[in-house]
């Protein structure tokens, strides 16, 4: 099996089946800066450099350096490897993919009247975050079971079996299928009626379950940006971009547990649970920036990104197949789809997401900013980016929501705030220019979004690239080495200790940019 991951952009993707929405906060905010091959080669640092279409999505004031016109397309390819360590078992998967970096049209005009040296407009499209990913890991567990999450959720719901098992259930994707297939049921223990998972029988007997988890995510976050900038006498440049983000994510999660004992009378043999949801949405954001040039060589930039307010619609379904054993050892097979409990069709939920606002402080040293190309020798540029991953918010925006949705999102926002923290991200790189040929190196580091120190996560990108510019044509080619670490809880139980897998993504990405100047 191979696995996808972004180009440049090795998004390490969370893989959690129980608590997806909490992890959604990270999914929609913890990803590297995308850019053209030239900008990715210098680590993605673009907060003060300008003169590249990537400025549309980083610091739109950088568009103000344009006085010519560019048409740019930026294909990207990735071939990364995901590995997971889960309870002593190591799993590794590869997957390749193609995506698109900033592509579009920029036009600069100047000098003009009214004391403004030049103005520039850009319309560009990019994949902000590539969420294509596939992760799978396996392990043995003699302590807890995925099925116990269904038992726990049912116990906390306060609902009776009949209230859960109906054609318009309030917990149709998890508890209803588990009850229907007898993966969980009520059992009298010491005179008390308790809710138990069938898997607990063999755990109590000291046996282990073989656990297999996989999660496939397809799609990403895209953005159409319309940017404009004003260059005031090459000293102060101001810019803004109206961004129209688009979210399109398909996620399929599978959990399989199998009895590893030789017993045929412990009541459980195996189950396979699949959860699928599709999120489609659109929204808006705003990016504002300023670049100050105190002298010819120096550029200082500041950019502020508003949260992206994205309005989504989610289609959700699940299925469960359970193989049980009767006391006599006979096999009992049960299967059901969640559509049975959602009026015969997948359930739908509308909600809004806002990811964190972001601030980028940047500086560049450019040698030299003169018309004679042969005397342009290179530049060094660096960005410091601040954002609070705990600032992601969820909420409703339609009247047709579940009765408990508003309170749930309110609680969820508090958990997100407590679970994630703010972080500083760094990007630095430089270019050496030899008339028509350019060489580049870059580095980027994205810090840990988790507040819990025991959860280690980071993204490191090392990049190197070549560029060619002559006769109205330019081409850039960049190789990016990705090293990403993250954690994943396959399920979380409130009344048990929880275990998680450690994820690691390594591998390379190739980014290319081809453009024409006219």
Partner 1 sequence: MKKHYLYFALLAGILFSACTSSYKSTQMVDDVYYSPARNINTYDTRQDDVVRYADPDERIIRMRTYDPRWRYLDYDYNYYGYNYGYNYYGHNYSPYYYGYNTGYYYNPFYYPVPVYTYNPYAYITPRNTAIRKSNLAVYTQPRSTFSDPKTKSPAVISSRDLYNNSNSSYNRRVILPESRKSRNTYSSPDNSTRSYEPRSSTPSSSSGNSSGSSSGSVNRPGRGN
Residues of this chain, 19-48, that bind partner 1 according to CB under 8 A: 19-22, 38
Matching residue, tokens 């190197």: 464
Which helix or strand (DSSP H or E) is residue 200 part of?
Answer: helix 200-204
Residues of span 277-316 touching partner 1 by CB under 8 A: 277, 314, 316
Q: How far is the CB of 59 from partner 1 (least distance, A)?
A: 13
By CB atoms closer than 10 A (0-12, 13-18, 19+), residue 457 is buried
Q: What are phi and psi of 84, to 5 degrees?
A: -135, 135
Residues of span 163-182 touching partner 1 by CB under 8 A: 163-173, 176, 179-180, 182
- Cα separation of 178 and 183, whole Å? 5
Q: Which C-beta is closer to partner 1: that of 139 or that of 307?
A: 139
Query: Among 151, 198, 255, 391, which residue interacts with partner 1 (rule: CB under 8 A)?
Result: 151
Query: Among 114, 115, 294, 372, which residue interacts with partner 1 (rule: CB under 8 A)?
Result: 372
Query: Among 222, 419, 445, 446, which residue interacts with partner 1 (rule: CB under 8 A)?
Result: 419
Q: How far is the CB of 96 from partner 1 (least distance, A)?
A: 6
Residues of span 381-400 touching partner 1 by CB under 8 A: 400
Q: Which C-beta is closer to partner 1: that of 204 or that of 424?
A: 204
Question: What is the rounded end-to-end Cα distance, in angstroms, of the chain?
Answer: 45
Residues of span 441-500 touching partner 1 by CB under 8 A: 452, 454-455, 468-475, 477, 492-495, 497-500
Pattern 311-350, binding to partner 1, x per CB under 8 A? ---x-x---------x---x-x-x-----xxxxxx-xxxx
Q: How far, in Å, are 71, 91, 409 from residue 228 at the CA level? A: 16, 47, 36
- Cα separation of 426 and 382, whole Å? 7
**What contacts 351, CB < 8 A, 6 or more positions away?**
312, 314, 394, 395, 396, 397, 401, 405, 409
Kindly state whether residue 215 participates in binding partner 1, applying the rule CB under 8 A: no
Pattern 97-136, binding to partner 1, x per CB under 8 A? -x---------xxxx------x------------------
Query: Among 3, 149, 393, 427, which residue interacts with partner 1 (rule: CB under 8 A)?
Result: 149
Residues of span 244-283 touching partner 1 by CB under 8 A: 277
Residue 304 near residue 359, CB atoms below 8 Å: yes
Q: How far, in Å, are 81, 205, 358, 448 from residue 419 at the CA level? A: 28, 36, 18, 12
Q: How far is the CB of 306 from partner 1 (least distance, A)?
A: 26
Which helix or strand (DSSP H or E) is residue 95 part of?
Answer: strand 89-100
Q: Which C-beta is closer to partner 1: that of 105 or that of 473?
A: 473
Q: Which C-beta is closer to partner 1: that of 182 or that of 236?
A: 182
Kindly state whether residue 366 participates in binding partner 1, applying the rule CB under 8 A: yes
Matching residue, tokens 């450099």: 49
Query: Among 6, 44, 102, 139, which residue interacts with partner 1 (rule: CB under 8 A)?
Result: 139
Residue 356 near residue 389, CB atoms below 8 Å: yes
Q: Provide the sign of the torsion angle of the four alpha carbons 366, 367, 370, 376, taken in this order.
A: negative
Q: How far is the CB of 29 from partner 1 (least distance, A)?
A: 17
Categorise residue 504: left if φ over 0, alpha if ψ from -120 to 50, beta otherwise.
beta
Residue 488 near residue 15, CB atoms below 8 Å: yes
Pattern 3-22, binding to partner 1, x per CB under 8 A? ---------------xxxxx
Q: Which C-beta is closer to partner 1: that of 285 or that of 513?
A: 513
Q: How far is the CB of 369 from partner 1 (least distance, A)?
A: 5
Q: Which C-beta is closer to partner 1: that of 385 or that of 431?
A: 431
Kindly state whether residue 353 participates in binding partner 1, applying the rule CB under 8 A: no
Q: Which C-beta is closer to partner 1: that of 330 or that of 359?
A: 330
Residue 128 near residue 177, CB atoms below 8 Å: no
């Amino acid at each position: 099996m191979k696995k996808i991951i972004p180009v440049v952009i090795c998004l390490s993707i969370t893989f959690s089946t129980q608590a997806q929405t909490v992890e959604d906060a990270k999914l929609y905010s913890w990803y590297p800066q995308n850019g053209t091959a030239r900008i990715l080669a210098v680590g993605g640092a673009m907060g003060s450099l300008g003169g590249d279409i990537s400025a549309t999505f980083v610091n739109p004031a950088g568009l103000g350096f344009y006085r010519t016109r560019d048409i740019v397309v930026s294909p990207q390819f990735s071939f990364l490897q995901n590995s997971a360590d889960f309870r002593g078992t190591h799993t590794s998967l590869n997957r390749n993919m193609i995506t698109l970096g900033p592509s579009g049209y920029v036009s600069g005009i100047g000098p003009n009247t009214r004391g403004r040296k030049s103005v520039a407009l850009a319309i560009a499209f990019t994949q902000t975050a590539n969420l294509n990913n596939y992760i799978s890991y396996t392990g043995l567990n003699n302590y807890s079971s995925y099925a116990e999450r269904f038992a726990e959720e049912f116990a906390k719901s306060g609902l009776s079996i009949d209230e859960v098992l109906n054609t318009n259930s309030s917990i149709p994707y998890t508890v209803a299928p588990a009850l229907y297939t007898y993966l969980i049921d009520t059992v009298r223990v010491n005179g008390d009626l308790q809710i138990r998972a069938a898997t607990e029988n063999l755990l109590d007997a000291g046996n282990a379950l073989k656990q297999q988890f996989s999660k496939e995510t397809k799609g990403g976050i895209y953005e159409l940006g319309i940017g404009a900038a004003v260059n005031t006498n090459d000293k102060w440049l101001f810019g803004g971009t109206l961004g129209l983000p688009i979210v399109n994510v398909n996620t399929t999660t599978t959990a399989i547990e199998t009895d590893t004992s030789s017993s045929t009378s412990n009541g459980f043999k195996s189950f396979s649970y699949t959860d699928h949801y599709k999120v489609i949405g659109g929204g808006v954001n705003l990016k504002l920036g300023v670049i100050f040039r105190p002298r010819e060589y120096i550029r200082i930039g500041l950019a502020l990104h508003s949260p992206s307010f994205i309005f989504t619609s989610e289609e959700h379904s699940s299925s469960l197949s359970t193989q049980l054993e009767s006391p006599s050892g006979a096999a009992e097979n049960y299967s059901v789809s969640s559509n049975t409990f959602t009026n015969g069709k997948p359930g739908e939920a509308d909600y809004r997401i806002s990811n964190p606002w972001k601030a980028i402080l940047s500086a560049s040293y450019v040698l030299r900013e003169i018309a004679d190309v042969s005397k342009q020798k290179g530049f060094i540029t660096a960005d410091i980016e601040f954002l609070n991953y705990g600032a992601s918010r969820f909420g409703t925006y339609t009247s047709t929501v579940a009765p408990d949705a508003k309170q749930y999102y309110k609680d969820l926002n508090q958990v997100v705030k407590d679970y994630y923290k703010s972080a500083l991200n760094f990007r630095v790189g430089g270019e050496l220019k030899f008339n028509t040929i350019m060489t580049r190196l870059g580095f980027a580091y994205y810090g840990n979004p988790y507040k819990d120190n025991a959860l280690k996560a980071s993204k490191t990108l090392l990049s190197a690239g070549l560029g060619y510019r002559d006769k109205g044509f330019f081409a850039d080619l960049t190789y990016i080495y990705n090293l990403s670490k993250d954690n994943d809880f396959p399920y979380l139980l409130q009344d048990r200790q929880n275990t998680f897998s450690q994820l690691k993504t390594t591998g390379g990405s190739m980014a290319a940019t081809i453009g024409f100047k006219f």
